[in-house]
Structure 1
Amino acid sequence: MKLEGSMVALVTPFSDGKVDYDALGRLIDFQIENGTQVLVPCGTTGESPTLDYAEHDKVIEYTVQRAAGRVPVIAGTGSNNTVEAVQLTAHAKNSGAVASLIVMPYYNKPTQHGMVEHVKRIADVGLPIVLYNIPGRCGVELTPETVVQMYNEIELVVAIKEATGRLDVASQIAASCDITILSGDDSLTLPICSVGGSGVISVLGNILPAEIRKLCDYITNFDMADACTQHLKLFPLIKAMFIETNPIPIKSAMAMAGMMKDEFRLPLTPLSEKYRPSLAAMLKEFGVNCK
C-alpha cells in the first residue's frame, strides 16, 4: 500500500450535541473536490475521545460511504484499551477503510514491549496499520528502535504518523527502515519529507485543502524552491492552528467561515474571543471570508 501526499485529519462537526452528518458530508466533498488524497476521520482532530463507540463506528462508516471510492479512508481506531482498539479496527475494516491509525496507548503508559504487543493484537484484525506517535498527548513515546521492530515483525505495519515535533526522530526512522513516514505536524511537512517522508496528515487542510495539496505536489515533484515558498506562506496560519489546543482553532475557524457550527464536546470549548480577529484576518489573506 502506497500512502503519500495530502491527507487530512477531519474534524467532526456537531449540532445540538449530535454529530452533524450534513456538515460532515459537505466537508468530505469539499476535501475531495480540492485535492485531498486521503481522508482520516476519528483522530485527535476529530475529537475521538468524546465520541461514543456507536458514533465512532458510524462516522467512519459514513466517511467511507460518502467518499464512495473517490479517495481512500484511514480510520482512527486507537484506544488505550487494546480490546476496544481491536473492536474499532474490525468495524473500520468491515466498513471499507484501507488502513487504521493507531495512537499509542495514553494515560496507562505501557512499556515499549507493551506497545509492540498492543499493535500485534490489533494487527490480527487484518487491516494495515499506520502507527501514531504523539508523546505530547500520550505520555509515552514510541522510540525509533521500536518503530523499526514493529515494521520488521508485524507485516501489516505500513506507515507512521510522526508527531514528536523532532526532525531527528523521522531522520532516524528513515535511516533504519523503509516504513512510510507521514508528518503529523503541518509545520514539519516539508522538513520531514526532505529526509524521506511521503506526505502529511494535516490539520490546516480542513479549511485550506488546495493549499496543502499544492505544498505536497511541489514536494513530490522535487520542486523544493516552490515548496519552501509555499511552506513559509502557510507557516503563520499553521502556527495559529495551535494557539489553543487542537482542534479548537481549526474547528472555530471553519465555523467562522460558515462551514459548520462552532460546537465542541466538553472538555473542549470554542476558541477564545481574543484570538478571533487575528485568525479571521489571516484566513482572509487566503480568500476565506469569516463571519
Structure 2
Amino acid sequence: MTAQADTAEWLSGFIADLPTPFTHRDEIDTEAFGRLCERQIAAGATALVVGETAGESSTLEPAERAQLVRIAARVARRRVRIIAGAGSNATDRAVTFTQAAEAAGADAIMSVVPYYNKPMPQGMAAHFRAVAPATTLPVILHDIPSRTVKGLADETLLELAAVPGFVGLCDGSGDIARLVRLRSRLPADFRMLTGDDATSLTYLAAGGDGCISSVTNVAPDLCVAVARHLRAGRLHQARELHRRLMPLAALLEREHPAALKFALALLGFMQPATRLPIVQLGGPAKAEVAQAMAELADEYLAAAQ
C-alpha cells in the first residue's frame, strides 16, 4: 500500500463536508451536488469531503456513496482532491466501502471510529488496520465521540499514525488540548484537522492543519480568507472574519445537516430535502438561520463599502 506524499498542500485549510442533495423522490439530485462541488472549487478549496456526516452517510445506499464520488471526481477534474466517507461500524463493510470509493475515483478515504458497537481500543486499532491495506489511497481517521459514543484513544491514534497509509485525523471532539498534547508525538507529516467550526480558529492557531467544516458550505470565500490570514500571520483579520461566521455556524451545528441544507436552499443551490430519520427544520429554526444569514450578508456588504 502506498499513500500520497503531498498531503501537506491539500489536506489543510477549510474543507467542506458536503451535504447530499435529494430530489422530491428521495433520489440524489446530481445537478445540485455538482453545483455544490463547483462552488467550493471556485472559492479556492483544496479538497471536498463527500458521503460523510453532512452527507447523511448512514442512510446512503452503497451505490449512492459511489455515485457521489463519481460526480465529485467528474466535476473536480483533478483540480481538488475528493475525500470519500467510507466508514462503517462493521469492519468488512468499511473495507467494501473503501474499495468501492477508490474504484469510483476518490483520492482519499475518511474512515470513522466504529459507532454503536463501543469497541475496546484494541478492536478499534484492528478495525482500521484492516481498512488501510484494502486501498492504495491515503486514509484519514475520523474521531467524533458525540456520534460514536467511544472516542479514539490517544495511544491508539499514535499507534495508527505510525502505520503507512494513515495520513491524518479529523478530530470532532473539540478538544484543542489534545492537539497540543499530541502534536510533538505524531509524525511530522501527519495532518491534524478539527471537525468543529466553533473552535476552528483556535485549533489552527494552536498548530492544527485545517478544519472539515460545515459553515464553509455556506460561506466558502470567507473561510478561505480566514485560513489565508492565519497562514500570513494576520491573526486579527482572521479572528474578525471568524467572528462573523460563528452565529451561523452555531445554528448549523444545532440541527445538522437539516440547517445546512436549509441555508443552501436559501442561496438557491439545492432543495432542503432530508432523508429520514432527519427531517427538515421547523419554522422557528428556519427563521433563526435566515436571520443569521442576513446578518452575515450585511457584514459582507459593509466590508465591501
Correspondence for 1:123 among 132, 143, 151 = 132
The residue aligned with 1:9 is 17
Q: Does 1:107 align with 2:104?
A: no
Question: How many Å separate the matches in 2 of 1:20 and 1:254?
Answer: 14
CA RMSD of the aligned region, Å?
1.3
CA contact (8 A) 1:102 1:129 kept: yes
Q: Does 1:88 align with 2:97?
A: yes
Question: How many Å separate the matches in 2 of 1:60 and 1:181?
Answer: 23
Correspondence for 1:180 among 160, 167, 191 = 191
- Deviation string 1:73-103 (CA, Å, 9 cap, x unpaired) is 1111011111111111112222332210110
- Deviation string 1:224-249 (CA, Å, 9 cap, x unpaired) is 111111121211111111232x1111
The SS at the match of 1:275 is helix
CA contact (8 A) 1:248 1:268 kept: yes
**TM-superposed deviation, 1:286:** 3.1
Question: How many Å separate the matches in 2 of 1:144 and 1:228?
Answer: 29
Correspondence for 2:266 among 247, 252, 256 = 256
Q: Does 1:227 align with 2:238?
A: yes
CA contact (8 A) 1:89 1:127 kept: no
The SS at the match of 2:296 is coil
- Deviation string 1:113-147 (CA, Å, 9 cap, x unpaired) is 11111111110122211110101000110012211
Q: Does 1:282 align with 2:292?
A: yes
Question: How many Å separate the matches in 2 of 1:212 and 1:151?
Answer: 28
CA contact (8 A) 1:162 1:170 kept: no
**TM-superposed deviation, 1:175:** 3.1
Question: How many Å separate the matches in 2 of 1:278 and 1:271?
Answer: 10
The SS at the match of 2:253 is coil
CA contact (8 A) 1:76 1:100 kept: yes
The code of the aligned residue for 1:41 comes to: V
| Structure 2 residues without counterparts, runs of 5 or longer | 1-6, 299-305
- Deviation string 1:193-225 (CA, Å, 9 cap, x unpaired) is 122211111101111111111111112222111
The SS at the match of 1:74 is strand
TM-score between both structures, scaled by the size of structure 1: 0.95
TM-score between both structures, scaled by the size of structure 2: 0.90
Alignment of 1:1-291 (within 5 A): 1-2=7-8, 3-15=11-23, 16-125=25-134, 126-152=136-162, 154-178=163-187, 179-244=190-255, 246-287=256-297
Question: How many Å separate the matches in 1 of 2:295 and 2:203?
Answer: 26
CA contact (8 A) 2:245 2:296 kept: no
CA contact (8 A) 1:147 1:173 kept: no
Question: How many Å separate the matches in 1 of 2:201 and 2:121?
Answer: 29
The SS at the match of 1:43 is coil
Task: Give the number of aligned pairs.
Answer: 286
After superposing on structure 2, the runs of 4+ consecutive aligned residues of structure 1 that deviate more than 3 Å are none
The code of the aligned residue for 2:111 comes to: I
Question: How many Å separate the matches in 1 of 2:155 and 2:122?
Answer: 11
Which range moves more in the overlay, 217-226 or 181-190? 217-226
CA contact (8 A) 1:80 1:104 kept: yes
The code of the aligned residue for 1:285 comes to: E
- Deviation string 1:6-37 (CA, Å, 9 cap, x unpaired) is 21100000002100001001111111111222
Question: How many Å separate the matches in 1 of 2:239 and 2:179?
Answer: 19
Question: How many Å separate the matches in 1 of 2:161 and 2:155?
Answer: 10
Question: How many Å separate the matches in 1 of 2:161 and 2:239?
Answer: 31
